[in-house]
Chain A
């Protein structure tokens, strides 16, 4: 039963890859939802859960690219492990610390994905895709954290109106 939420997360990643990635892209810049899921789990769950989840997210991400499957799995698992250890070693009480961790993690993951999937034209894609994608993903992650941490609630939104 404990695995069910993670299974749902994996299906969410698949749904993003198949349906939402193109729909939510802005001028070709996309949200790195797999990295957000992995870092979200790293922030709130235990080490082994995080690493296995990262590994599986990498597999789901790379399902359509068999040649890159191993690289994506191990790099996403490494992101999960790094995220978990950053959380363990740095005080993550403030929202900005969490957002900074998400931004850093997403940037590294975007760069690794670029190196794995499209090494040719790396520098061009770094500026045109990886960096804007990091900003876009960080904004989405920040919104998620606002809701998760209770800073923004439905009650508060209703109170505004």
Chain B
């Protein structure tokens, strides 16, 4: 055995070379099966872990890209949804307005509210109609809910409207049932009130308050509000009457300017 070991030690270098040469030869001429087996083992051992890492990274990158794309799409769809919801509301508002008739002897010119001003409550609004549309001062404005106010100044393409909620604004009214009269005004601390209504007058909560037409600006019969609360103090000549406005002044959009039609 010693001589074999001695021989191996003497020629170990050649043994290595011959081994490598034989293995290479086997791979070169060994046919597809040998190469296939060696290749699949090498791929499984050396390549597979990195394939998994790479495909995971690629998947994550794709998911990230897809996520960003979907976020963008979601933002677009949400915006579109908001726009459609706005259109739906406008549509239902306009449907409500569709069957709305002006008072007798008046025509209606539709107008859109451009801006509303006022600190605690809206007291004035700017509309998109002006002298170009034959708008003049003191024309009354209504919407499908009721009386809104009157024009106080006019520009070529816009006009400013004094709203019913302006504390300096007064409207001559009468109770729809009893036909008794009073003055409606707005107080910042008390809301819409009916003033100058005698204590012995006939009035109940829920009564409809209409414009009387006596002020010369508003035609008779426009809905101003309904009676919300009535107090009759014994020592005073007038009732304390709180009204609920017919129109919602916090959501003004489409209004109608009333113009007298020549007989």
Contact = CB atoms under 8 A, between A and B. Distances in A.
A70 B25 contact: yes
Contact of B54 (A10, A18, A73): A18
Contacts of A42: none
A70 B27 contact: yes
A19 B50 contact: yes
Q: State which size class the interface on B falls in.
A: 20 to 34
B16 A74 contact: no
Interface string B37-63: 011001100110111011000000000
Contacts of A66: 32, 35-36, 38-39
B54 A19 contact: yes
Given A51-B16, A52-B16, A71-B28, A60 B46 contact: yes
Contact of B35 (A47, A52, A55, A67): A67
B36 A15 contact: no
B39 A77 contact: no
A41 interface: no
Given A11-B46, A60-B46, A55 B39 contact: no
A106 interface: no
A15 B29 CA distance: 28
A52 to B, nearest CB: 7
A14 B48 CA distance: 9
A121 B42 CA distance: 29
B11 interface: no
B3 interface: no
A15 B20 CA distance: 24
Contacts of A11: 46, 49
Q: Is the interface of B mostly helix, strand, loop or mixed?
A: helix
Interface in B15-39: 16-17, 20-21, 23-30, 32, 35-36, 38-39
B46 A10 contact: yes
B6 interface: no
A77 B36 CA distance: 21
Q: State which size class the interface on A falls in.
A: 20 to 34
Interface in B41-98: 42-43, 46-47, 49-51, 53-54
Interface string A61-94: 0111111011101100100000000000000000
A51 B24 contact: no
A62 B29 CA distance: 16
A18 B39 CA distance: 15
B23 A55 contact: yes
Contacts of B25: 70
A18 B56 CA distance: 13
Given A48-B16, A64-B43, A59 B50 contact: no
A145 interface: no
Contact of A14 (B16, B23, B30, B50): B50
B13 interface: yes
A47 B15 CA distance: 13
Nearest to B12: A48
Given A14-B46, A48-B16, A70-B30, 7 more contacts: A19-B53, A48-B13, A64-B47, A69-B35, A73-B27, A74-B28, A77-B20
Q: Which 5 A-B pairs have the closest CB atoms?
A: A70-B27, A70-B28, A63-B42, A14-B46, A18-B50
16 contacts: A14-B50, A48-B16, A52-B20, A55-B20, A55-B24, A59-B38, A59-B42, A62-B39, A64-B39, A66-B32, A66-B38, A66-B39, A69-B35, A70-B28, A71-B28, A73-B23
